[in-house]
Amino acid sequence: MIQLIKGFRDILPDEAGLWRQVEMMAADIFSGFGFLEMRPPVMEKADLFKRSIGEHTDIVEKEMYTFADRGGDVVTLRPEATASVVRAYIQHKLYNTAGVQKFYTIGPMFRRERPQKGRYRQFHQVNAEVFGTASPYMDVQLVFMLTTFFDALALKNLTVHINSLGCSECRPLFRERLCSFLEENRLNLCNDCKRRIDRNPLRVLDCKVDTCRQATKDAPAITDFLCSDCAGHFEQVTGLLTELGVGFELDRRLVRGLDYYTRTTFEVRTDMLGAQSAVAGGGRYDNLVKMLGGPDVPAVGFAVGFERLMELVELAGSVPCGTERPRVFMAALGEKARSIAFKWLCELNREGVPAEMCMEERGLKSQMKQADKWNATHVAIVGDAEIESGNIILRNMNTKQQEELPLDKMPECLGRAISRL
Ligand code: HAM
């Protein structure tokens, strides 16, 4: 039997209902903050991700699903959505519309990482991206929207980690000082980090290996190198978060795994999911639009990882998964009864009431078993005797109560009875 690909997973019906509800909550809350939905494709030219995420990042070096298609174009299954949204923003000249532009997008991403709990090769994100303002108010509003979403899901034990990565003015000096520090401590670093010193030294700061963490305990902090504009911006961000009552932790090690970030960066982490603790991450990327060939437009955004989010939602048990809706099973005995029941079934379904029946000839016992398996909340029984008497029997499967309903007032009577019981 052909099995699914390692690191990919099926979202089966018992999970999918809850996923859809949480996706709808995200869409609802984000729309309330003025975000419009965008649906970019899942595949793009490989160069888009190389140029935006950065040649020397783990994602580009090791994790992308990149291949030449049958026409010879080198394409990549998107490892993230930000680059695609920026590409669409430039390609369709969305910057011509006045004011700040806000987009959200929901969908699958692909990274060929080592699969483990909370880390998949196909995973899902909901992204929010804002174009056209460098204001710290926008950074804060985004974090506020994110925590509003998590609060609506009643999630606990989440911490917002926040840092500033400065800009092209102040980061080079920090990078230089960091590199000298890392060179002095080279012997204590893991092999990956030794390589990172030349290619992507900032990433050494968030290496999870104990010896590296120990060795970089006294490494220079970017926040000590910020130019006055970046320092002022960051001060405003943290000040406004405090005023709004959004709790956060300053985290000078937070560097993120994508190269496009400038200034504010943040992650929301939990201690409830083991090693894969980041539920959401984002920040400013003020140079990316220009770097990809667009105008000089500042931007900021974030992405929430749905697999990790859904684990937290299940632990919190705060979102009803919709199974408490009435589910009506029609138990029909005889051909005439079945054709009557079938008409009601179609009408109930059209009204949005989940209803089922046994389409083959079966005895009452077997039909009741089927109703039970399907978790019916109500069973409507109709046979020759009921047709004769003009009343059908409706059985509430939870309370075991039965009532008679007039056959000639169906299915309205049935609809009313199931909402009442
Ligand atoms: P990221 O930190 O790479 O950022 O991913 C965001 C979230 O996606 C992570 O916090 C995590 O919850 C989830 N995630 C990432 N990789 C996996 C995986 N292999 N399996 C399961 N979940 C995963 C970005 O992708 C940026 N584009 C975010 C952004 C938007 N920055 C600005 N705008």
How does the average pLDDT of the chain come out, rounded?
94
Residue 323: predicted pLDDT:
54
403 in Cβ contact with 394 (< 8 Å): yes
For residue range 150-167, list pLDDT tens digits in order: 999 999 999 999 999 999
Test site for ligand 1: of 42, 126, 279, 308, most ligand atoms within 8 A of the Cβ: 308
Residue range 13-25, pLDDT digits in tens: 989 999 999 999 9
User: 264-273: per-residue pLDDT in tens?
Assistant: 999 999 999 9
Using CA atoms, how far apart are residues 338 and 381, in angstroms rounded to an integer?
10
Question: Of all atoms in ligand 1, which is nearest to the CA of residue 121?
Answer: 19
Using the predicted structure, report yes or no on whether residue 324 has a pLDDT greater than 80: no
* Ligand 1 site-directed mutation target among 123, 161, 266, most atoms within 8 Å of CB: 123
Q: Which token pair is 19?
A: 């996923």
Please give the Cα distance from 58 to 234 (Å, whole number).
27
The answer to whether 300 touches 264, Cβ cutoff 8 Å, is yes
What's the pLDDT score for residue 419? Answer: 78
From the number of C-beta atoms within 10 Å of its C-beta (0-12, 13-18, 19+), residue 260 rates as buried
Strands 299-305 and 355-357: unpaired
- Give the atom of ligand 1 at the shortest distance from the alpha carbon of 267: 10
Q: What is the pLDDT of residue 141?
A: 98
Closest C-alpha residue for ligand 1 atom 17: 119
Mutate to test the pocket of ligand 1, among 8, 80, 161, 163 (most ligand atoms within 8 A of CB): 80
For 302-313, what is the mean pLDDT? 97
pLDDT of residue 274: 87
Atom index in ligand 1 nearest the CA of residue 129 equals: 33
Q: How confident is the model at residue 242 (pLDDT cuts 50, 70, 90)?
A: very high
Per-residue pLDDT band for 108 (boundaries 50, 70, 90) equals very high
Pairing, β 36-37 against β 101-110: parallel
Instruction: Tell me what percent of the residues of the chain surpass a pLDDT of 70.
Output: 98
Answer yes or no: is pLDDT of 420 > 80: no
pLDDT grade, residue 33 (50/70/90)?
Answer: very high
* 223 class by beta-carbon count within 10 Å (0-12 exposed, 13-18 middle, 19+ buried): middle
Q: How far apart are the CA of 125 and the centre of ligand 1, in A? A: 7
Full set of structural domains in the chain with CATH: 13-170+226-316 (3.30.930.10), 328-418 (3.40.50.800)
Nearest protein CA to atom 1 of ligand 1, as residue: 281
Give φ, ψ of 149 to 5 degrees: -60, -50
Distance 73 CA to ligand 1 centre (A): 26
Q: What's the average model confidence in pLDDT over 201-222?
A: 92
How many Å apart are CA 263 and CA 281, to the nearest integer? 14
Task: Specify the pTM.
Answer: 0.91
CA-285 nearest atom, ligand 1: 32
Q: What is the pLDDT of residue 14?
A: 87
Is the predicted pLDDT of residue 321 greater than 90, yes or no?
no
Ligand 1 atom closest to 120 (CA): 20
Q: Is 308 left (phi over 0), alpha (psi -120 to 50) or beta?
A: alpha
Lateral strand order in the sheet of 65-68? 43-45, 74-77, 65-68
Render pLDDT for 349-371 as a digit per residue (tens, 0 to 9): 998 889 999 999 999 999 999 99
Q: Name residues contacting ligand 1 (CB within 6 A).
A: 80, 82, 111, 113, 119-120, 123, 125, 127, 129, 257-258, 278-283, 301-303, 305, 307-308
Q: Which residues have C-beta within 8 Å of that of residue 54, sequence separation ≥ 6?
A: 60, 200, 258, 259, 260
What's the confidence (pLDDT) of residue 421?
53
Q: 76 with 46: CB under 8 angstroms?
A: yes
Please name the residue whose Cα sits nearest to atom 15 of ligand 1: 305
Q: What is the pLDDT of residue 403?
A: 93
Span 36-52, average pLDDT: 98
Q: What is the pLDDT of residue 90?
A: 98
